[in-house]
Homo-oligomer: A and B are copies of this chain.
Amino acid sequence: MQILEFLFGRPLANYEDQEERVGPAGGVPIFGLDALGSAAYGPEAALTLLIPLGAAGIHHIVPLSLSIIVLLAIVCFSYLQTIPAYPSGGGSYTVASQNLGSGAGLLAAAALMIDYVLTVAVGISAGIGALVSAAPGLHAYVLPLCLAVLAVVTIINLRGVRDTGAVFLFPTYLFVGSLAIVIGLGIWKTLAAGGHPMPIAAPHAMQPAAQAAGIWLLLKAFSSGCTAMTGVEAVSNGVTAFREPRTRNAQITLVVIIAILIVLLAGIAVLCRSYQIGATDPASKDYESVLSQLTAAVVGKAWFYYVTIGSVLLVLTLQANTAFADFPRLCRAVALDGYLPRAFANKGRRLVFSHGIYVLVALAALILVLFGGVTDRLIPLFAIGAFLAFTLSQAGMVAHWKRLGGEHARHSMLINGLGAIVTAGTTVVVLVSKFAEGAWVTVILIAALVLLMRNVHRHYRRLMAEIRTDESLPIENLCPPVVVVPFDNWTRISQRAMRHALSLSPEVIAVHVDSGEEQNSLASEWPRLVEEPARQAGLQAPKLEVVQSPYRYVIGPLLEFLLNVEQQYKDRQIAVLLPSLVERHWYHSFLHNQRAELLTALLLFRGDQRIMIINVPWYAHSN
């Protein structure tokens, strides 16, 4: 228990829930790390696809970034409307399922879940990948490092919402602050130099153009850049994590995140063009990230460069945290509707939905281990989920406003409608441009997950129909069960078991399996040991049935006997009373047979509604 307390803090009571809420200052690190971290790889991803265009490609980064920024703004406005409309958490799942039907909701949920799992695995592995390329000595430890980061993020998140916000505050604001300084300084230098500043450390020279810009290439670059938008959904899903006024706090948080992201994306795009910075081939030996070139060009490779790049690396690694904040909430919403196991809806000891965290960690760890900590091949698999969810959520909001009606609703419907169309288009672009590279896997996974959740739901529904009742207790025909007591020989254990049996019911059958291995006087002693005392006390004398077992099996014949008794007493309950020896030390259990446990398991497996099992433990050496 002490190690639990040390790692995760003391348990939090329900009434402490209020104190676990956060405001915008804590909300930005919790829900924004994923989106903000995208600034580090979104432009890079787009520029990488532009490498074949040579120096000419760099010019495309500004319009590309601009379209992504517009998209971001639209999505932001849409979500700003979703938050007050669904103040208890309006993620894509909730919005889509309430407005478009459970099918759309499940589709959004499955898409997002897969995306979040991938975010964790790919995010951590990207961060560690950057660290390892800076410090090649660590190359042998990629997987352990990935798993260590995963463990740290997990522990922090299991400590609860407030602790998470506090821990991630520093790296987030360090990242935003230092990048803002680099961008501000760069833009000031650009303006001062009339658009063509001298880099302090020269960026890599671009390769000569290998091809001309085509629409397909630009679309692919755009859809790669769009990975910058994953994680935007998180705030609207986590409204309940904010302190009052929670709608307003959530909205402020969302606006702050998006605003910072837009500034960073725009600044990076502008500086890339003015300093003529392009991506370098990640497979080549001279690889240097765009942000590294940019920072070096603006401030030189001095201490501030290292602070900036260090913070970038930290945020890259920790952006997995957004998934930790949102995945469990999403699972909870789905579980409350009966599409996932109920356990996802339970709050853990620190008031977070621990089961969702466990599943997320397990899946991410599995992916990391399977891919040895290098997950480049998985990058084409994500972003689709996020865009699919965006689209469904916007479309859901359109339906929502349509139902509500009125002047304000019409205006909101327009915004969400625009969002739906734009994100739907983007989804198609992303899906088509990445389909062959792996997006098809995502499609299959989403379909499988939807199917799974539907099956879970059907299972719960059938079970509920079976067990739901509002009837009061039917009290007629109460009749004690027929108690069957199996035992080997006459000991204090069996003596006590017989006493218990007689105290529960007048009808008791003792059964002994004779496997012919040892002499046993049970049958001949029975009248003296049990029948006479019972008769003298005026009770019905318990019978002893001896079952012959020429093949020395004990459990099998016993089970047959019990099922026979059940057939015999068709309208009675059968209680199987199993005397069992409990040892205080686990290793002593090797000294005894585990027949009671085995019989219990088999009875549960083969029995039916009329058999109950009574375990009468005897504690060895307890007196």
Residues of chain A at the chain B interface (Cβ within 8 Å): 11-15, 341-343, 345-349, 456, 459-460, 462-463, 466-476, 478-481, 490-493, 495-496, 498-500, 502-505, 515-517, 528-530, 532-534, 536-537, 539, 550-553, 573, 575, 581-582, 588, 590-593, 600, 604-605, 607-609, 611-623
Bound Cα distance A505, B504 (Å): 7
Residues of B contacting A471 in the complex (Cβ-Cβ under 8 angstroms): 495
A609–B619 CB distance below 8 A: yes
Bound Cα distance A326, B513 (Å): 29
A612–B609 CB distance below 8 A: no
Bound Cα distance A362, B12 (Å): 47
A–B Cβ pairs within 8 angstroms, 9 of them: A341-B592, A349-B551, A459-B591, A467-B493, A468-B492, A475-B537, A476-B537, A478-B499, A609-B617
A549 smallest CB distance to B (angstroms): 9
Residues of B contacting A608 in the complex (Cβ-Cβ under 8 angstroms): 619, 622
A505 smallest CB distance to B (angstroms): 8
Among B14, B515, B530, B611, the residue within 8 A (CB) of A473 is B530
Residues of B contacting A618 in the complex (Cβ-Cβ under 8 angstroms): 467, 609
At the interface, is chain A mostly helix, strand, loop or mixed? Answer: mixed
B456–A591 CB distance below 8 A: yes
B492–A612 CB distance below 8 A: no
Bound Cα distance A534, B475 (Å): 7
Given contacts A349-B553, A467-B618, 20 further A-B contacts (CB under 8 A): A12-B551, A14-B552, A342-B591, A348-B552, A349-B551, A459-B591, A460-B591, A468-B492, A470-B490, A472-B532, A473-B499, A478-B502, A478-B503, A479-B503, A504-B504, A600-B615, A604-B615, A608-B622, A609-B618, A612-B616
Bound Cα distance A588, B459 (Å): 9
Give the copy number.
2
A495 smallest CB distance to B (angstroms): 6
Residues of B contacting A14 in the complex (Cβ-Cβ under 8 angstroms): 515-517, 550-552
Bound Cα distance A460, B473 (Å): 48
Bound Cα distance A264, B349 (Å): 75
Q: A472-B528, A473-B530, A533-B474 are in contact. Are A573 and B622 (CB under 8 A)?
A: no
B495–A573 CB distance below 8 A: no
B504–A481 CB distance below 8 A: yes
Q: Which residue of B lies closest to A12 (CB)?
A: B551
Residues of B contacting A536 in the complex (Cβ-Cβ under 8 angstroms): 475
Residues of B contacting A515 in the complex (Cβ-Cβ under 8 angstroms): 14
A477 smallest CB distance to B (angstroms): 9
Bound Cα distance A313, B341 (Å): 59
Residues of B contacting A347 in the complex (Cβ-Cβ under 8 angstroms): 517, 552
Q: A14-B552, A495-B471 are in contact. Are A466 and B591 (CB under 8 A)?
A: no
B11–A551 CB distance below 8 A: yes
Q: Which residue of B lies closest to A621 (CB)?
A: B462
Bound Cα distance A476, B538 (Å): 11
A493 smallest CB distance to B (angstroms): 5
Q: Which residue of B lies closest to A479 (CB)?
A: B503
Residues of B contacting A478 in the complex (Cβ-Cβ under 8 angstroms): 499, 502-503, 537
A445 smallest CB distance to B (angstroms): 19
Residues of B contacting A530 in the complex (Cβ-Cβ under 8 angstroms): 472-473
B495–A474 CB distance below 8 A: yes
A576 smallest CB distance to B (angstroms): 9
Q: Which residue of B lies closest to A348 (CB)?
A: B552
Among B491, B575, B600, B611, the residue within 8 A (CB) of A467 is B491
A612–B612 CB distance below 8 A: no
Residues of B contacting A480 in the complex (Cβ-Cβ under 8 angstroms): 503-504
Q: Which residue of B lies closest to A582 (CB)?
A: B604
Bound Cα distance A582, B530 (Å): 35
Bound Cα distance A468, B618 (Å): 13
Residues of B contacting A551 in the complex (Cβ-Cβ under 8 angstroms): 11-14, 349
Q: Which residue of B lies closest to A11 (CB)?
A: B551
B613–A614 CB distance below 8 A: yes
A463–B11 CB distance below 8 A: no
B491–A469 CB distance below 8 A: yes
Bound Cα distance A498, B475 (Å): 9
Residues of B contacting A619 in the complex (Cβ-Cβ under 8 angstroms): 607-609
Bound Cα distance A472, B537 (Å): 13
Bound Cα distance A459, B476 (Å): 50
Among B346, B473, B529, B612, the residue within 8 A (CB) of A614 is B612
